[in-house]
Structure 1
């Protein structure tokens, strides 16, 4: 191995080896793009139906355009066929082919420099991706503008040159892009880190972004300067202002709690009952306007002392009831007004009695204090996977018997591995939890229908949360469910967990119509054989390349026999 010589190298030898390795990398990646372009050439789409030309075209392989305008069409399954041979996902393989054909047919000058190893492959690919949707003549103008500059400049400066070239070569397109960008809004959440943290990227109109930034800053100041912890806020031991801003943004996800914090800070008296309104005179009649509201605003007001809600009454009932007060639309909903009475405005010697406006304020306070902020949460389904050992260890520690030698951990879908204590914190007092029934995959029998029942689909996702195609990175619940052994009309018990696996749409089409064979010899285990004889196994632990020798062929034969026995 090369590593055994490293400790014997001096500085000059290390520099020489690194220089040689850097050059080898340039050569290898340039050669890779040339080979991938040739792969596209030997998988032409000329004799295949074009995608979208007819309903029958979806039943087999189609001709698709991987690159931008001006590139030839390629066979649809070229990417999926290449992916397992070079240890890439189908998406990565598709991107590689698209970049190669773009550079070859749309950027001939840069392509020639790439073949001479004068341009790094990732720089050339960046140019191809940034310009993929542009017309061919625009791409060729950019090619002429950049060809003499991409050999010596760093990637960041080349990116700026691409932007400048786009403006020069296609000013009208840039203007249209600016207009489209003004209307393009999105909020994107990244996958979770191993520590339970996700990134949020949002693209907003500038005024909306400014208002949101101001609101986050305002709420951050309130939280940082609060003399006491505010109930319901998940502080998380924040120390720096960016940490506090993240907490403020998370607090905005509970609008009721955020509303209460902001209003109590700016108008503290709004939620402090005045004696005139909230200290009832025991000698006053129950409905005396001078007595205020005869109930405790911190508790649940008696139902018979509240005016009927006009929103819940049929229109006919509203017309017939003379005691239904007029309603006024406020920011939080429809709050009933007190019917105006002249005597309510009279001076009783102490001060003006509460007007209908003051009564509305009191009703608003009662409403807001009666709101349970947790009821305003958006419903979220959290899939937590635990081993029996982790659960036993957590229960043992909770009962004071110490742990059982294993740190309690869980796998949370869309989050990843997490300490069980983290999950307990996420499901803390600020959450309303509904525990769903446990699904036992072994207790779900196969069915005769082609469609997978919902309970079976859910069980499959829990058992196999990722695509079963070699090297795939797809973990979306929107994937297709593939019958490993193709469904045959009239057969019995074909649709079940013994004959199913999730696949992305492109992967599913390739497995169904392409040049690859697939078997499922056991639960969650899938064996593939490519048209070049390579055998691969995928299971919950990843992809295993067995190669194309006799031993791999023997494994495939055994998998074929096991699958046939299971199907029978």
Structure 2
């Protein structure tokens, strides 16, 4: 065990190496706990531990099915004993036992990677939880589909979206049933307990309804910017450079979120809007991007599961019934996103941006989780007019958040893109990271 004094005397490189070693120790301990939970389940086979003549009596211990299809039942009180010994609730212990059983019997590829130390238990346990309603064969298919990406090469939010999508693809009928149940749960109401004079109003509705509402509120809020400018003390300093003209003291200043709140009020009560503000022209056109596997479309076959960008998987029936009656579809086939003609300007054409989104859907900084469409598109090799530099073409682009873009520019990080969509990073301490369409991997110095 490292003492605090020793850690406090470490160099930067030593701290990073120590943190990595400690993280590895935690990971091995979590694998050991899963092994113990599985062994505890085996030892508490109801056929061996329960007396059939006693188990039928009221209040007596019974057999429980913790894991999914294909796993063995466990004596009911086993979870209580195991949970108490590891300092967790009975519910948490039962979940651990269920996950251990599923990994052993329903997810062989994922479990092998967990045992090898290649996959963190949290990633594996998320998969088995999401697949518990599936049949053994369906769960095994998801296992093979997500095991490669479960080693942390993509961050949690992106891995979560991947798993949810694969689960839907494995059982489209089940996904459709869940959509129908969700559709009946539409509401618009006050939620939570009001505090300090503030309350929350939650709207649950189909994706296109919420997208249109968000766009309309944003459009009205933008029109209010002239009367209600940004508070310079609350704004991003990158958007309020020194020397920019500030509102005079008589002007009311707000933050962007406050302005959106006022926009909602004006939509609900048009009489509260300024006299020169026409609310009848506020409905902007919104775009919902739906990704479909077009492999069989020419044969009249549409994949059972589609993906709505920024939202997740939906069934083809959802696209037909929810979007079909109200949307105008523009089909943009993506056959070869690399076949783009270079341009001689820094401003990136829309066709290039679409290609970059297909090749690199997330921030290309190591382990980044951002997938928003508003990211900056960076030139890997800086572009400079009239000088030798990177060209404006697919293969020299990479989406990044402002923070990561600044880190690349000013933070002593180095980046190369040897092939389109493949990014090789070097951090200020010499560590190498490979980022591609599968995520991020750390590369050994010796590699």
- Structure number with bigger Rg: 1
TM-score (normalised: structure 2) = 0.44
**Which structure has greater helix proportion?**
1
